[in-house]
Structure 1
Amino acid sequence: MLASVDPVPSLPGALPPALPDSWPPIARLAMLSGTCLLGVFAGLALAGGVIAVVWDVPLAGVAALLGGDAFHPHQRAIARTAQAVLHLAGFTLAPIVLLAFTLPTAAIGRWLRAQAHLPLPPMLAAVALTLVSLPLISAAIEWNAGWHFSGALTEFDQWMRAKEIAAQRLTTQIAQMDSVGELLACLLTLALVPAVGEELVFRGIVQPTLTRALGGRVHAGIWLTAVIFSAIHLQFLGFVPRLLLGAAFGYLYQWRGRLAVPIAAHFANNAAQVLLLYLSQRGALPGFDPDATTALPWPWVLASGGATAALLAWLHRGQMHAVAPAAAQPPPADA
């Protein structure tokens, strides 16, 4: 019989209980990768079925629609549905199923009960951090967009740019918004769903697992997770800004111990881009180019850097402290 769920300790200033994972890090990461991949395949099948039933599109035609090689009157809705279902299946449901089958009920129960508490001030500070850092990130975007590889890496450079074009085509399909309803659909598909799923996988599972593998080196675990987080998007002309954001999300989770904090920051980053795109499409931002890779004026960048540093310092000063390195301890034995 599985052990019962223990009440969540309420020690002042203590981090919430971590998932006490006794699996070897390499095994945990292999299981996570395989489960997420299976989730993506299941999501493909489910999305294809939903699209076939709702919009009467044959399964063979779904790939052509998503690739921009065919047309349908409801093409944007189809693309959003596919994006949401794939992400939910691969990055949210799959890791939850994995945890349910590989960790004791008591461990998951303690973790979920702690995560259910939403710390409003840190969440608001995380949102503010994301928004005030946008000018600073624009400088990283400009620098990264200028990357060029030659010689032995010429083929990689061509592949990298082809992936950027393909990603831009898909984004154009999904993010064209002609109504408030479509704006809300994009906020759900492009902001909320990815924020929840990616933070669960990368900050909730990958980061503590890599930290264990690296002998408890927290900073190394955070930055290595951020590298993987950025690389897995396969958009290398945006690798550096995404790396910096991933590291920031990692520190938010490390300092506060609740996924709601990096989820709020991640959502704010994605939602800001969706809102700017919507306002641009409505003509409310004359002269604004959503595809531009030039940095904002340097006074803005410097002011953004100062505000970002101040918010990070505040969040760091208010960090909670772990009572014990729970993530490195084996789970309690089943009763």
Structure 2
Amino acid sequence: MTDETPLEQDPLSTYDDAESPTEPVEPDEHRPARPPGPGLPESVLWAGSIVVLQILIAIPLMIAMAVQAGGDWMDVNAPLDEMGPNGRMLMFGLPTLLAFVLLAVPVMWRLGRNPVATLNLSLPNATQLAIVVSTVLPLSLIADGLYWAANEQWEALVEQMPLFEVLDGASVMETLDSQVKGASVLVLLLFIAVVPAVGEELVFRGLIGRGLVSRWGVVMGVLLTSVMFAVVHMYPPHVAAIFPVGMVIHLVYLATRSFWMPVLFHFLNNASAVLVLSSGAPLESDPQPLLVAGAVVYVLIAMWLLWRYRTQYRAEDGETFSPPYMTVAEPVTESGYRRSIPQSVPVAAIFGLLFVAQVVLATMDVMAAVGG
């Protein structure tokens, strides 16, 4: 049995690992509830398994392409060229898709007896939704700024130490720009936005983040999870850019207690890159420092407000469900705790309008880049 904690599934009883979950044990005030896993070593293995599975799946695909190229390993690009943009996107995206499909069952098993309640598939309210979606584009500005700065330093380092050039092959930006430009928007959205949004959120925020936050606390748990999330993207400038994105996505999950919100955030973040790619505009641009600084302020204010309007679970007498560690999981219905989310029509309206304004301005910027 996994080390599932009773506080997430039944706050009125405790279980030992050797005992059946159908046989409640009298609460022991001297025995603290054990935080759920995974711990740090196991989390590293889960994160590493994503990379390992992708490599293992990619190897037979590369062999098949080499065979199709007449056994010439140096000319595997020839079959790719014949496939066209959609075929190339399928070949590049298939290892990631299959890796997450293979990981889905063990991840759900590791989440315990009730993985749906542990992930928490409840919906947010309009206030939370407006704040979250309006944060996506400002955060992408911050990520772009970090990517640009880190890429300059990385290129200088590679010039001094050519050995590191091997990591350039992990550049997602370069692959997208050179290999799959021209693929249909739906194919790009599937492999670049939908698959990573669901798969990576299930593994990192749903499983790894759950264990690390419960065992290391919110600050260290979010930091460690975000580091792992960034590192699996491998290309150093991309790692630097992804790190703050991972932190914000994790905070969104903790505040809303809805698995759909990090998935939506991740999807919108990646989908914006897909739309830029499909438009023909350059994926990489040098963001203006003042815009990046403004984006930082915006994201900080948005996260502060989101926490003020965070989801909690309360009993009829007003008591808040407060286990000894941070969790997004739903308490069982029999416990008497009900989902409670503050609502503010003005806040929802303001951030909704801000999101619309951001989309309009971003669209105008892309159109100007294409026209220029």
TM over 0.5: yes
Letter in 2 for 1:312: M
Q: State which of 120, 135, 138 in structure 1 corresponds to 2:141.
A: 135
Residues 1:88 and 2:97 aligned together: yes
- CA-CA distance at 1:41 after TM superposition: 6.0
Q: Which residue of 1 aligns with 2:322?
A: 323
Residues 1:171 and 2:176 aligned together: yes
* In 1, Cα distance between equivalents of 2:328 and 2:130: 30
Name structure 1 gaps, 5 residues minimum: 1-7, 10-19, 282-287
- CA-CA distance at 1:204 after TM superposition: 0.9
* In 1, Cα distance between equivalents of 2:306 and 2:241: 21
Q: Deviations over 1:214-266 (max 9, x none)?
A: 2xx21111011111111111110232221111111111112122221111111
Q: Which residue of 1 aligns with 2:117?
A: 110
* In 2, Cα distance between equivalents of 1:302 and 1:274: 25
Q: Deviations over 1:269-309 (max 9, x none)?
A: 11111111222x2xxxxxx53233x22252x2333233222
- CA-CA distance at 1:88 after TM superposition: 2.2
> What's the secondary structure of 1:99's corresponding residue?
helix
Q: Which residue of 2 aligns with 1:232?
A: 232
* In 1, Cα distance between equivalents of 2:35 and 2:58: 30
Q: Which residue of 1 aligns with 2:261?
A: 261
Q: Which residue of 1 aligns with 2:283?
A: 290
Q: Which residue of 2 aligns with 1:17?
A: none
* In 1, Cα distance between equivalents of 2:293 and 2:51: 41
* Aligned residue runs from structure 1 range 1-335, under 5 A: 22=36, 25-26=39-40, 28-29=42-43, 32-33=46-47, 36=50, 39-40=53-54, 43-44=57-58, 58=68, 68=77, 70-90=79-99, 92-102=100-110, 104=112, 106-111=113-118, 114-115=120-121, 117-119=122-124, 121=126, 122-148=128-154, 157-165=161-169, 167=171, 168-177=173-182, 182-214=184-216, 217-279=217-279, 281=280, 289-292=282-285, 294-296=286-288, 298=290, 300-321=291-312, 323-324=322-323, 325=325
* In 1, Cα distance between equivalents of 2:270 and 2:304: 23
> What's the secondary structure of 1:133's corresponding residue?
helix
Q: TM-score, normalised by structure 1?
A: 0.70
* In 1, Cα distance between equivalents of 2:195 and 2:106: 19
Change in 2 beyond 3 A, CA 1:59/1:155: same
Q: Percent identity?
A: 19
Change in 2 beyond 3 A, CA 1:246/1:134: same
Change in 2 beyond 3 A, CA 1:123/1:162: farther
* In 2, Cα distance between equivalents of 1:304 and 1:36: 31
* In 1, Cα distance between equivalents of 2:242 and 2:85: 26
* In 2, Cα distance between equivalents of 1:80 and 1:63: 20
The Cα RMSD (Å) is 4.0
8 Å contact from structure 2 (residues 170, 235) kept in 1: no
Q: TM-score, normalised by structure 2?
A: 0.64
- CA-CA distance at 1:32 after TM superposition: 2.7
Change in 2 beyond 3 A, CA 1:228/1:239: same
* In 1, Cα distance between equivalents of 2:130 and 2:289: 26
> What's the secondary structure of 2:284's corresponding residue?
coil
8 Å contact from structure 2 (residues 137, 269) kept in 1: yes
Name the structure, 1 or 2, with higher relative contact order (CA <8 Å, separation 6+): 1
Larger Cα-atom Rg: 2
Q: Which residue of 2 aligns with 1:5?
A: none
Name structure 2 gaps, 5 residues minimum: 1-7, 10-33, 313-320, 333-372
- CA-CA distance at 1:25 after TM superposition: 1.8
8 Å contact from structure 1 (residues 163, 234) kept in 2: yes
